[in-house]
Structure 1
Amino acid sequence: MKTTVFIAMIAATSIIVAGGSAYARGDRHGAPVDFETLDTDGDGKITLEEMQARGAARIAKVDTDGDGFLTLPEIEAEASARAKQVASRMLDRLDADDDGRLSAEELERPGRADRRFRRADQDGDGAVTKAEFEAAIAKMQDRRRGGGWAE
């Protein structure tokens, strides 16, 4: 139950985001959003109203009963659909031997763990302290938030 609620919260947050940075990076739940998609009136400019309309349309898609509110079952259904899409893409991308299953070797890209460890081990002593670990997590979170418009 806790996992379902957590996934639902993540989905709701991503659905409701209507800020510029989400649009600059693209629609994470479908095709990248291009300028023309957001410029609904074709005047060569994107207004705040056009961006808000995009967000409202995404919310309306999840609001399956059309009452103007997102309920837990609606959010869970959207989260489940997205999770299935992510899982399918992951399997397609990583299943090197096309057997429909992912082995530990297929999941771990060569050198990925080594790179992560070296990044976290800031002083290069071969061990990661709690401070280095927390700094690495903060840096990763900053990177995930970055890449969009300044807000």
Structure 2
Amino acid sequence: MIKITFTAAAIVAGLLASHADAREDKPARAAAMFERLDANSDGKLSLAEIEARSAERFARADANNDGALSIEELRAAGDARRAKRADRMMQRLDANDDGSLTRAEMEARRNPAEMLARLDTDKDGALSAEEFAEARQHHRHGKKGKPASE
């Protein structure tokens, strides 16, 4: 049980901590995205501006311009998003700018003890399967892995 709990904690730490900087950058990225979406620079997003962004994303993914997205086009669009995310991760974590990430660079920003304390809702010093699942669910929805009880 201890080994499984430790392994689960390590997995959660990896899933959540690798995006710690991304969470810190969210306000700046959100502001930049808002600025891009606000086509008329009035400080508000209209339905037309939101719909225009949606149409742009669809058009970028529709490589053959047939008005429909094939599975290949969807995969390619996903690959492009993953590549951008990987590029941002490299920029954030590559401390010596050598174009590769060592394990030390990957782990430099992690604090497993802090994460465990935050995610361990029953404060028993370990993550249960339920706490682990809840953390993963919240992480997927951009809630910093924080359990609902916080």
Q: Same fold (TM over 0.5)?
A: yes
Alignment match, 2:128:
129
TM-score, normalised to structure 2, is: 0.60
Residues paired across the two proteins, number: 116
Change (3 A) 1:143 1:57: closer
The separation in 1 between residues aligned to 2:76 and 2:126, in whole angstroms, is 42
* Unmatched runs of 5 consecutive residues or more in structure 2: 1-28, 145-150
Alignment of 1:33-112 (within 5 A): 33-34=34-35, 37-40=37-40, 46-112=45-111
TM superposition outliers: structure 1 runs of 4+ over 6 Å: none
Shift of 1:138: 4.0
Shift of 1:100: 2.0
Change (3 A) 1:142 1:64: closer
Alignment match, 1:32:
33
Letter in 2 for 1:82: R
Shift of 1:111: 4.6
Change (3 A) 1:63 1:32: same
- Alignment check: 8 A CA contact 2:120 2:126 kept: yes
- Alignment check: 8 A CA contact 1:39 1:45 kept: no
Task: Give the percent of matched residue pairs that are identical in Structure 1 and Structure 2.
Answer: 36
Shift of 1:52: 1.3
The separation in 2 between residues aligned to 1:116 and 1:135, in whole angstroms, is 13
The separation in 2 between residues aligned to 1:39 and 1:78, in whole angstroms, is 24
The separation in 2 between residues aligned to 1:85 and 1:26, in whole angstroms, is 16
The separation in 2 between residues aligned to 1:142 and 1:65, in whole angstroms, is 32
- Alignment check: 8 A CA contact 2:38 2:49 kept: yes
Letter in 2 for 1:107: M
Shift of 1:46: 3.9
User: Secondary structure of the residue that 1:59 maps to in structure 2?
Assistant: helix
User: Secondary structure of the residue that 2:59 maps to in structure 1?
Assistant: helix
Alignment match, 1:119:
118
Change (3 A) 1:113 1:45: closer
